[in-house]
Chain A
Amino acid sequence: MDFIGAYSPDHIVFLLKGFLVTLEVAGISILLSFLLGAILGIVRYTKVPVFAQISAIFVETIRNLPLLLIIFFVYFALPEVGIKLSITWSAILALTIFESAMLAEIIRSGLNSVHKGQMEAGRSSGLSYIQTLWYIILPQGVRRMVPPIVSQFISLLKDTSLAVVIALPEMMHNAQVLNAQNINYIIPIFILVAVIYFIVNFALSLVARRLELNM
């Protein structure tokens, strides 16, 4: 094992560049999946006919499938029906599909956790259904959603490593590039990658815990 060679400044910069791609892809995916997840979750919460059922089927199916299958599907199968995306956008689309199903459930249970009396009180004080949802229910629900959403973001950061299978140049991919140069780099590089992941995710999990305690 060659720790000194493996941890040369060039290599560390190369890995961190990969981690930037990880953060970028994960960041865009979480934003998109928050939007999509919010629509799916709210539609299911408000029980809009037909749309609520479609949302339920989508969420339950996607949640019960492996992410890797979705990544493969987006990258290898969609071109067969004429949808061809770059590697980066394939990864973002796959992660967004998967995470939006997870976020939809978080958002729905956040809304459900707001006491029913709140809706009744809002409605009887003259607010419309939409107004009650927007001004009364959502602000209370959102506070409860934040900690699980942070945890979900941790999972997303970890899951982004799966995009190595379609050669997205994220940290895992760059680690493999370094490993191919010298067999003695393999263990030190994997340890470093694990430590980088650990530091970032552990910090995030502390944030999530703090937020939970503040409620």
Chain B
Amino acid sequence: MLDFTILTDNMGMFLEGFKNTLIVSLLALIGSFILGTLIAVFRIAPIKPLNWIGTIYVEFFRNIPLLIILFFIFIGLPVLGIRFSGFQAGTIALTVYTAAFIAEAIRAGVLSVHKGQTEAARSSGLTYIQTMRYIILPQAIKIVIPPLGNQFLNLVKNSSILTIVAAGELMYQGDLISSRTFVTFDVYIFIALFYLIITLPLSYGINRLEKSLAKSN
């Protein structure tokens, strides 16, 4: 049976980790949403060199492990004299990595809006920027929300690798607790429950949203 005294005795540390996991995930979500939107604009804009930059970014970061980005920032950059704390390095790595996926989600959303919409707006005298701002994006956002939710879900899970750079999030606190108490099995189960508190409602909400969107179309 699970030993709940482990949970109650170390509640402070568990909650500290839980809080940090949430903060990292939220910061990285905001950062990667901004960066991802920019990359998506690069990929869609009718300017060839920008398209290339956007494509290279997305294809490169989608196809390498998050861990190598984290190591590069945390272990590689200090060689050049650029130093980050574990927390900062982790947030940057998550942002850079997730931005590639978010850019793809946004691009897919924008492209799914019928081409005739752009043509109609353009021929009624709107500029390209205005067309995007008033016609395409409001329609695209609806399609983009479920995949964005999924990316946030992945962010929460991926933030666990911050434990490798001792950034004080949930997984790290769990390791500390288990090395102090010599109990690993129960501690990891509790850690898992804390993750599920965030991820289960999130994935349930995304599912609901996807279904209602599928119906409305």
Taking Cβ atoms with an 8 Å cutoff, the residues of A that contact B are 1, 60-61, 63-69, 72-73, 76-78, 80-81, 154, 158-159, 161-162, 164-165, 172, 176, 179, 183-184, 186-187, 190, 193-194, 197-198, 201-202, 205
Q: Is B132 an interface residue (CB 8 A)?
A: no
Is A158 within 8 A of B171, CB to CB? no
- Contact check, B184 vs A190: say whether CB atoms are below 8 A apart: no
Flag B54-79 by CB within 8 Å of A: 1 or 0 each. 00000110111111100110011001
Query: In the assembled complex, how far is the CB of residue A56 from the closest CB belonging to chain B, in whole angstroms?
Result: 12
Q: Hey, which chain B residues are within 8 Å of A187, CB to CB?
A: 72, 76, 79-80
Q: Write out, one digit per residue, whether chain B residues 152-168 have a CB within 8 A of any chain A CB (1) or not (0).
A: 01001111110110000
CB-based contact A66/B68 at 8 Å: no
A67 to B158, CA, bound (A): 8
Q: B200 touching A190 by the CB < 8 A rule? A: no
What residues of B have a CB within 8 angstroms of the CB of A159 in the complex?
A: 65
Chain B, 132-170, contact with A by CB distance < 8 Å: what is the 0/1 string? 000000000000000000000100111111011000000
A139 to B: closest C-beta gap in Å: 26
Does chain A have a CB within 8 A of B196?
yes
Task: Evaluate whether A64 and B200 lie within 8 angstroms (CB atoms) in the complex, with A76-B184, A81-B185 already known.
Answer: yes
Helix, strand, loop or mixed for chain B's interface? Answer: helix
Contact of A172 among B62, B65, B191, B192 (CB under 8 A): B65
Q: B131 at the A/B interface (Cβ < 8 Å)?
A: no
Known A-B contacts A67-B157, A72-B188; A201 and B63 likewise in contact (beta carbons under 8 Å)? yes
On chain A, the residues within 8 Å of B187 by CB distance are 77
Assess the B191–A69 pair: CB atoms within 8 A. Answer: yes
Residue of A with least CB distance to B199: A64
Quick one: given A64-B200, A69-B192, A80-B185, are A201 and B75 in contact (CB under 8 Å)? no
B76 and A202 within 8 A (CB): no
Confirm or deny: B195 has a beta carbon within 8 angstroms of a beta carbon on chain A.
yes
- Decide if B10 is an interface residue (CB 8 Å cutoff): no
Contact of A61 among B68, B76, B178, B196 (CB under 8 A): B196
Interface flags for B188-217 (1: CB within 8 Å of A; 0: not) read 100110011001100100000000000000
- Check if B63 sits within 8 Å of A186, measured CB to CB: no
Determine the distance from Cα of A72 to Cα of B185 in the docked complex, in whole angstroms: 10
What residues on A are CB-neighbors of B153 within 8 Å?
A: 64
Partner of B68, one of A76, A183, A197: A197
Chain B residues lying within 8 Å of A194, measured Cβ to Cβ, are: 60, 64, 68, 72
Docked-complex contact B76 and A165, CB < 8 angstroms: no
Partner of A1 from B79, B156, B160, B195 at Cβ < 8 Å: B79
B75 and A162: CB pair below 8 A? no
Query: What's the least CB distance linking B146 to chain A, in Å?
Result: 14
